[in-house]
Structure 1
Amino acid sequence: MILDNLPLSRKQIVSIVESRRYRVSIWSGAVRSGKTIASILAFYDAIVNAPDSGLILICGRTLQTIERNILEPMQDPAVFGAWASEVHHTRGSNVAVILGRTVHLIGASDVRAEGKLRGLTACLALVDEATLLPESFWTQLLARLSVPGARCLATTNPDNPAHYLKVNFIDRAGERDMRLRAWDFTLDDNPSLSAEYVAAIKAEFTGLFYLRNILGRWVAADGAVFDMWDPDVHVIKWDDLPAMRWILGVGVDHGTTNPTHAVMVGHGIDDVLYCMDEWRYKANNREARWTNVQLSNGLRGWLAGAHHPSQDPDSPDPFRGYVIVDQSAADFRVQLQQDGLTTHSAKKEVLYGIRTMTALMAAGNLKFTDRCPELLKEIPGYVWDTKATEKGKDEPIKLNDHGIDSTRYLLATTERKWRRQVKLAGYSTPELTAA
């Protein structure tokens, strides 16, 4: 029924059918290339034929990404017809019921997540964005798929060519004992996409993420992180700021020997995010470094000022947003709370934050005012670490990045607040079938 109503390419159909023969099936390739739809259809089929014993799992970076990338599309009747009504889930719950079977949802954002799998026995797992999961979690997951006939279905965008998933699994797919099959998808493999949409997302990506997310290549990070940076496009005068829907908050990178840097971001009425203003403290060689009490006083003094040209500088609007603070600065966060600010611990995953910033900048939906001079100095010089690349990791060089860290903390932590209104290059589409 679903195959009749949903336009599918030959590669999607072949991958769904042939995945039944393999213990591990991996759909890899460009964004919106149809791999997620194929994997979900294969997952429906696998649930129907799953062994009665053992747990069924959906794994992803976080519970929220599982809900957004997997469960919400599965519940769309325009895409999956009557089967959508067989997917029951309460947002925030770590279980769902799909086709009458209980499905456990497991987030794996760091190496500690591997402990969530210990002791369980599974018969089926669907993994969203497998390269974002720690290797220890992936290895433990495969070990827990121990029921006869157990299967793992996984999707991923390409990553570093030395990534464990590429080297230890995808590249070994042809080996006799691996019982693994991998399919590479391009935008041409998704018949749901219009030519206009394909042209649009191709234009939105640049550099590393174009090679990976559009061309579907496993390439190493090299050169500038923000290679789409154009001051003529991304920088505006503070006096030209549009009205704001709301202030998302302030991200803070707390420093002891390094500077402490705060960046305020607002959501404009044009649905563009703006780095509106910044505050930075760096001790000089002739003075003692500020204590947390002094840093709090300095930050709160800055927050009490005007941050938008429409505000009266003598009587500005009070700041009511969140202050997003680096997790490692727990003592500073306590000080801010004692001083009356509402704080939140930052989501710190570096690559995810960078991907979010680059996607927004590529779409023209993250801009900076000239009231952020230190942040503007950092962006052009933010480069990938070639030594980390050789080890199969994507990491920027940790140098002159305090404003960038503050910005990515805020954007990643507040994503659920701005995500539906602000276009993120390559991640927003009017067609769920384009997933």
Structure 2
Amino acid sequence: MITDIYSKRQIEVLKETVDKDWFIALLHGAKRSGKTKINNDSFLFELRRVRKIADAEGVKEPMYILAGVSSATINKNILQELYNMYNIELKFDKHNNFKLFGVKVVQAYTGNIGGVGAIRGMTAYGAYVNEASLAKQEVFAEIISRCSGEGARILADTNPDNPEHWLKKEYIDKPNDNVKAFHFELDDNTFLSDRYRENIKAATPSGMFYDRDIKGLWVSADGVVYQDFDSTKHYIQSKDLPKLSTFYCGVDWGYGHWGSIVVIGETDDGVAYLIEEHAKQYEEIDYWVDTAKGIQERYGLKVPFYCDSARPEHVARFRREKINAFNADKARLSGVESVAKRFKTNTFYICQDKVEKFKTEIYQYVWDKKKGEPIKQFDDVLDAVRYAIYTDESRNNKRVDIVSKVRFGL
């Protein structure tokens, strides 16, 4: 039965797209809600449809656009899933294109304007745009303009972004007979167990992250960034620290504004503790070298320092001084979400007697409603915290989702 394969929401999308004509079908909403699964299958349906149209027109090799932020995201979100589900093995040419069902599929990358060079001048019989909200608007427009073959249609999917985002204003808010928009919530994916869904909800930070990731809403951020921080719960005294097994640091360079180095310690089960804060103004690099060497004396020569890459000469100086320095992963929103998840899941605690600047920043670090990102104020220590936690998770493949599994028994 079809209900064994697709959720109720996915079946509704099929009913609106299989037997009706349209130009753009845009699926948007929560993560893990089933958007990409139905679009991957629709992609296969579309290729077969294109082949029939081409046969009727006498076109030997019709072309179709497969677009995503990068080759890696296309492979992860689409091609690998098609292989896992249907054992579809593809043979790529030197341009990373392939043929499937008699249709030539040309890959285009939407993260920058140069990524669409492969499709300029082509006549496409359709396109599939993954993670559409991450596409440059001019790139999305170029893909649409290329889809001029007979009966061409465009599939797209995306997670929510800022409510002022061009994709929402120009396409989702203006649906018509040619543009169909379908909204998904986490609960639409009934193939996920109730227990899993409830645990994910419990692990998702409050506010914007919950509204976007669970409800699938295009909302602005509002108020304090770390809404789940609770001073009565997340402050401890250093004398009450458990046994810590690993240590790592975050570094935010400064001079006129505050510079900072923080030290994070973790237990064997992945619970993190902010155990040292060093924050100063008007200090030269020599001061920070001495501070880092003191940290090495306490926690070992191999302790990593995840540094703001904005001052490469300072990172180079650390390395010359035999300090284990790395450029931090500075993905801002993803990094904030990682720290926020830790507060929500009670896997990050602060040694109250070892911090000063953190105490004021945590309540003054607020969202920019228009940009959907934190305002660049009151973030010197918090940036160092973000660099430390997010980069260490990335380097060691231990996203907070893994910690959540431990804490929530997923």
Give the TM-score taking structure 1 as reference length.
0.75
How many Å apart are 1:146 and its aligned residue? Answer: 5.1
CA distance in 2, matches of 1:266, 1:143: 53
Residues 7 and 377 (structure 1 numbering): CA distance in 2 closer, same or farther, change over 3 Å?
A: farther
Tell me the SS of whatever aligns to 1:117. helix
How many Å apart are 1:4 and its aligned residue? Answer: 5.1
Residues 211 and 114 (structure 1 numbering): CA distance in 2 closer, same or farther, change over 3 Å?
A: same
The code of the aligned residue for 2:185 comes to T
Aligned partner of 2:310 in structure 1 is: 328
CA distance in 1, matches of 2:96, 2:383: 34
Residues 159 and 102 (structure 1 numbering): CA distance in 2 closer, same or farther, change over 3 Å?
A: closer
Alignment of 1:47-62 (within 5 A): 47-50=47-50, 52-54=61-63, 56-60=65-69
Report if aligned partners of 1:29, 1:184 keep a CA contact under 8 Å in 2. Answer: yes
How many Å apart are 1:228 and its aligned residue? Answer: 1.3
* Unaligned runs of at least 5 residues, structure 2: 52-60
Of structures 1 and 2, the one scoring higher in RCO (CA 8 A, sep 6+) is: 1
Aligned partner of 1:343 in structure 2 is: 325
Alignment of 1:19-418 (within 5 A): 19=17, 21-50=21-50, 52-54=61-63, 56-60=65-69, 66=74, 69-71=77-79, 73-76=81-84, 80=85, 83=86, 85-87=87-89, 104=107, 106=109, 108=111, 113-120=112-119, 121=122, 125-145=127-147, 147-174=149-176, 179-205=178-204, 206-244=206-244, 246-247=246-247, 249-283=248-282, 289-290=283-284, 292=285, 294-306=286-298, 316-321=299-304, 323-370=305-352, 371-386=354-369, 389=370, 393-418=371-396
Report if aligned partners of 1:264, 1:278 keep a CA contact under 8 Å in 2. Answer: yes
Report if aligned partners of 2:130, 2:158 keep a CA contact under 8 Å in 1. Answer: yes
Aligned partner of 1:313 in structure 2 is: none
The answer to which of 225-234 and 115-124 deviates more is: 115-124
CA distance in 2, matches of 1:267, 1:123: 53
Residues 53 and 267 (structure 1 numbering): CA distance in 2 closer, same or farther, change over 3 Å?
A: farther
Tell me the SS of whatever aligns to 1:155. strand
* Unaligned runs of at least 5 residues, structure 1: 284-288, 307-315, 431-435
The code of the aligned residue for 2:259 comes to T
Percent identity of the aligned residues?
Answer: 28
Tell me the SS of whatever aligns to 1:277. strand
Tell me the SS of whatever aligns to 1:86. coil
Residues 415 and 74 (structure 1 numbering): CA distance in 2 closer, same or farther, change over 3 Å?
A: farther
Report if aligned partners of 2:252, 2:380 keep a CA contact under 8 Å in 1. Answer: yes
How many Å apart are 1:182 and its aligned residue? Answer: 0.9
1:265-317 Cα distance to aligned partner (Å, 9 max, x none): 3443112344343322212xxxxx42x3x1442343233232xxxxxxxxx53
CA distance in 2, matches of 1:224, 1:13: 39
Tell me the SS of whatever aligns to 2:374. coil
CA RMSD of aligned residues (A): 3.7
How many Å apart are 1:394 and its aligned residue? Answer: 0.7
CA distance in 1, matches of 2:65, 2:198: 38
Tell me the SS of whatever aligns to 2:335. helix
Residues 231 and 211 (structure 1 numbering): CA distance in 2 closer, same or farther, change over 3 Å?
A: same
Residues 251 and 106 (structure 1 numbering): CA distance in 2 closer, same or farther, change over 3 Å?
A: farther
CA distance in 1, matches of 2:231, 2:25: 43
Aligned length: 389
Residues 158 and 94 (structure 1 numbering): CA distance in 2 closer, same or farther, change over 3 Å?
A: farther
CA distance in 2, matches of 1:358, 1:63: 29
Tell me the SS of whatever aligns to 1:172. coil
The code of the aligned residue for 1:9 comes to S
How many Å apart are 1:376 and its aligned residue? Answer: 4.0
The code of the aligned residue for 2:295 comes to L
CA distance in 1, matches of 2:2, 2:258: 59
Tell me the SS of whatever aligns to 2:309. coil
CA distance in 2, matches of 1:385, 1:89: 46
The code of the aligned residue for 2:340 comes to T
Tell me the SS of whatever aligns to 1:304. helix
Tell me the SS of whatever aligns to 1:192. coil
1:360-413 Cα distance to aligned partner (Å, 9 max, x none): 332333333333442343122211124xx2xxx212222110122222233443
Report if aligned partners of 2:31, 2:159 keep a CA contact under 8 Å in 1. Answer: yes
CA distance in 1, matches of 2:201, 2:280: 40
The code of the aligned residue for 1:380 comes to Y
Give the TM-score taking structure 2 as reference length.
0.79
Name which one, 1 or 2, has greater alpha-carbon Rg.
2
Report if aligned partners of 1:296, 1:335 keep a CA contact under 8 Å in 2. Answer: no
